[in-house]
Structure 1
Amino acid sequence: MISSLRGKVELLGADWAVVGVGGIGYKVFMSTATLSQIQNASEVKLFTHLQVREDALTLYGFTTFEELGIFETMLDVSGIGAKLALGLLSAFRAGDLATIIATGNVDMLCTVPGVGKKTAARIVLELKDKISKNWAATPLGTAGAADGEVLAVLTSLGYTGAEAARAVVNLPKDVDLSLEDKIKMALAGLGGG
């Protein structure tokens, strides 16, 4: 099992990079966020997931262990393959995606190409409890329906899903705020209020 790679980026593609390690070039598929982080690096360290199929060995790479963890968690959902999991991680940072799932925001997941209502609902149904429990390091346990409503309002105002999720994550969790106050604070955090 290949669990990590450290080496030089030799080639970049739309959703992959070739990482040279000890004279061997490994083709590693990545999210667009990971690709943008490594494109100018002289040396990279990637946490990897090796997918073994009858006809192929495919390597997926991530700059953080958190991103690898959510990728592998997504693969546990029936009907979610590596390509769709990478698409979700290209649209949202790992922590933001965890927040979106934990708050049950199906509409936000549907903004990603290839994710319909049924798929988004299945992701939330199968992962909401697991994400909330396993990602306790992020402020997910206190996220509720109101946070999902804040996400929906922010995206309807034109903010990207990732921007909206970051704004919700930064809201104070120890204060009982009305929906209107949460939206105002989120907009202020985004520079729009």
Structure 2
Amino acid sequence: MNRKLISLLIIVIIIVTAVLSFNCETGVEDSPTPGIIRVKLQADLSDTVLVERSDTFAVNLKYPAIFMIKIFQGRVFQKQSFAVLYRTKTSYRQEDALYNILELDSTGKYKEYIIFESSVPPGNYDRLEFGVTASKDDKLKIVALSGKMFENSVELPPGEKLLVEFPQDFNISENHVTQINVQLSPFKSIKRYRDVYHFYRQMKITGVYYF
């Protein structure tokens, strides 16, 4: 076999090897791009009145009412697996946050809060979960239009779990936003027990939206 034939054979082998290498699959797929989950919280627009014995107190624009609640440890679940939720898209760790659930906007309606906005892996999910308690440092305060004020401490009943579970099927898609709206009934959630009010957290998901 002369040198030209050997050289030609080597060139052919190199070309074939290169083609086979180019077409060979590595078995490693690109990681999917995450989607965004946004969780909004708002008080029940129809739950604006507290009746305390013979007195009636209604939330109004003249006298700001205060019911500070603490939100923390948000998660979404795929059966037993879960993704952690953060307050904003730029947050890098979980934080507790306080919200005045009785705060009104300029139209006199309860203010709507974004309590979580976080990147999570795409897929089908079946549950939302986060912690909800009344602030220990702030009392519930509401002033009637007459000027009479009600003020009292609010706390979870003994033995009550800190985390609230919301069973709900929803989907997270790559590069898209899934928004979950949650409603809290502020006055329907509290019941007097001796010198305090117990916070029974009547909450529900009112809608899931995709953008």
Q: TM-score scaled by structure 1?
A: 0.24
Task: Name the one with the larger strand percent.
Answer: 2
**Structure possessing the higher radius of gyration over alpha carbons:** 2
Task: Name the one with the larger helix percent.
Answer: 1
